Amino acid sequence: MSTKPKLYYFDGRGKMESIRWLLAAAGVEFEEEFLETRDQYEKLLQGGSLLFQQVPMVEIDGMRMVQTRAILSYIAAKYNLYGKDLKERALIDMYVGGTDDLMGFILMFPFLSAEDKEKQCAFIVQKATSRYFPVYEKVLKDHGQDFLVGSNFSWADVHLLEAILMVEEKKSDVLSGFPQLQAFKARISSIPTIKKFLEPGSQRKPVPDDKFVETVRRVLRMYYDLKAN
């Protein structure tokens, strides 16, 4: 196995993007193998690399890890992005879980019909501004710290910034009513490792396009239509 983490996924965001974000935030270089054919996927299955027959899969520290949350938790703990004690870790888990719920509404967006995309876009913005962003706005205002948990940069901050940018792709002024989150976005985006990841030419993936959708459908044999919430 490579000394660098190696990521097995499609050449696009999906569930792997948060893993890319967290590794980049930690300043860790990583390699990627993009799945483009069903044969590549079948080879991983037959080789026993995909424990639950699904990707993402990451080779790291002599392990072949699957299950996105397990991978993220390991990276966060390994690179000191998981709080200083059990209470901080619990808060990080709680905030990451909430952000995950919001990001889940966006994950399948590229696979929807044009009509359903319009409905889902409105749904995403409504949920972000009424359920999720108000929570983080209050947390930042109440404790007066630069970060969501304690006084140190953590996985929770990385995950929230990723989510904010994803929702802004649906509505550019979505933070207009959230001054704390506007300042948070500026602060976290200026952290050197994050700033580098946000620059052109990084391993950050663009908004999923039709080619990404078709590749995923072909490799995973997804022939059914998805519906918006």
Secondary structure of residue 65 in the 3-state scheme: strand
Domain coverage including residue 42: 6-79+198-220
State whether 154 and 122 are in the same domain. Answer: yes
**H or E, element range at 9:** strand 6-9
pLDDT band at residue 222 under the 50/70/90 scheme: confident
> pTM for the complete prediction?
0.94
State whether 22 and 93 are in the same domain. Answer: no
pLDDT digits (tens, 9 = 90+) for 164-177: 999 999 999 999 99
Secondary structure of residue 6 in the 3-state scheme: strand
Q: Is residue 34 part of a domain?
A: yes
**In 12-140, at which residue ranges do the beta strands (DSSP E only) sit?**
31-34, 57-60, 63-66
pLDDT digits (tens, 9 = 90+) for 53-80: 899 999 999 999 999 999 999 999 999 9
State whether 140 and 68 are in the same domain. Answer: no
**H or E, element range at 104:** helix 86-107
pLDDT digits (tens, 9 = 90+) for 175-207: 999 999 999 999 999 999 999 999 999 999 999
Report, as an integer, the average pLDDT of 8-18: 97
Q: In angstroms, rounded to a whole number, what is the distance separating the alpha carbons of residues 25 and 19?
A: 10
The total number of structural domains that make up the chain:
2
Q: Is residue 57 part of a domain?
A: yes
Query: Residue 211's domain is classified under what CATH number?
Result: 3.40.30.10
